[in-house]
Amino acid sequence: MLFINFTNSQIDLARKIGGKIVDCSNIEGTNCYCEADSERKIKEKISEYIEQSNIETIDDQSENDNQTNNDKLTENCNQSIEGKLESHCPTEIRNFDNIHFIDSGDYHYMTKIFTDNITTNFNLLLFDHHPDMQQPAFGNILSCGGWVSNMLEKNKYLQKVIILGINPKLLDETRQYGNRVIVLNKDDIENIKAENLTKVTSEIISSNRLDSSIYISIDKDVMNTEISRTNWDQGNMSLNILETLLSSFTRGRKVLGVDICGCFPRSKGGEDEDFLINENTDIEILKIVEKLV
């Protein structure tokens, strides 16, 4: 399980569950916009992790420092996660290398970077309060607000994007790609009775022939502020609805990977309460998605 670190917002969670921290906090040109050279450096960092998957952090620590950190990770996992995520200790986490935490929504373009490695047809299942389909403000720069458009235009393996929970006021952004984008906006989901949600999703899957494998991306700004705190405006989705939708859209399909974003960095005003709420929700999301991968 990878934690892509830009703002130090999920270091504690990574250590508690034995995640692998890929430190990108010193890479310039990454906040909301990702410059080409910055993208190259991020990919190099991730490649380093793949080549050295037994170390806890991709940095210049000594072997002794790494051993000390691994001991602390195991201790923290045993003390802090027992009863919540008891199977996710460092010795067992390797099975979940296709689950990634990618910091705040300012870095949601990381989904594009991870899916660049997929070499089979797939659909993107996106939970987000924003469609992230804005055209670049200048040049062809990758951004947190336009990475979905980038994927639709450049990733030859991406078939369709299913977006769940967006603000209905932003629907116009999604119409430029026709039937390649399928949307259940925030109001749609709220107006469907919970007991009918599985039936509705089954009809969407059938009518759109969503037979390909799936990559899942979850931005916690799709959720209500009682269970998620982000530095963006938010929707009103509950964990129960998230789980129902995930289960319905992935049933019988291979899940190629999952990423989760939506922190509230201290640099953007996040406080201790926000961190605690997000950490608890991240654990609950992990318990849901571990059944899928």
Task: Give the whole-angstrom CA distance, residue 144 versus residue 104.
Answer: 10
Task: Give the whole-angstrom CA distance, residue 141 versus residue 38.
Answer: 11
Which pLDDT belongs to residue 58? 34
| pLDDT higher than 70, residue 82 | no
What average pLDDT does this structure show over 227-237? 96
What average pLDDT does this structure show over 173-181? 95
Residue 56 binned pLDDT confidence (cut-offs 50, 70, 90): very low
| pLDDT higher than 50, residue 76 | no
The ranges assigned to domains in the chain are: 2-289
The beta-carbon contacts of 33-37 under 8 Å, at least 24 apart in sequence, are 33/137, 33/141, 33/142, 33/143, 33/144, 34/107, 34/109, 34/141, 34/142, 34/143, 35/141, 36/141, 36/142
Task: Give the whole-angstrom CA distance, residue 227 versus residue 283.
Answer: 11
CB 14, CB 21: distance < 8 Å: yes
Residue 293 binned pLDDT confidence (cut-offs 50, 70, 90): confident
| pLDDT higher than 90, residue 236 | yes
Architecture category of domain 2-289 in CATH: 3-Layer(aba) Sandwich (3.40)
Which pLDDT belongs to residue 137? 76
Q: pLDDT tens across 7-26, in order? A: 999 999 999 988 999 999 99
Cα dihedral 240, 244, 13, 275, rounded to 10, equals -40
Which pLDDT belongs to residue 45? 93
Task: Give the whole-angstrom CA distance, residue 293 versus residue 289.
Answer: 7
Which pLDDT belongs to residue 52? 52
| pLDDT higher than 50, residue 127 | yes
| pLDDT higher than 90, residue 87 | no
Residue 96 binned pLDDT confidence (cut-offs 50, 70, 90): low
Could you tell me which residues come within 8 angstroms of residue 78 by beta carbon, excluding any fewer than 6 positions away? 89
Residue 57 binned pLDDT confidence (cut-offs 50, 70, 90): very low
| pLDDT higher than 90, residue 84 | no
> 227 vs 211, which has greater pLDDT?
227
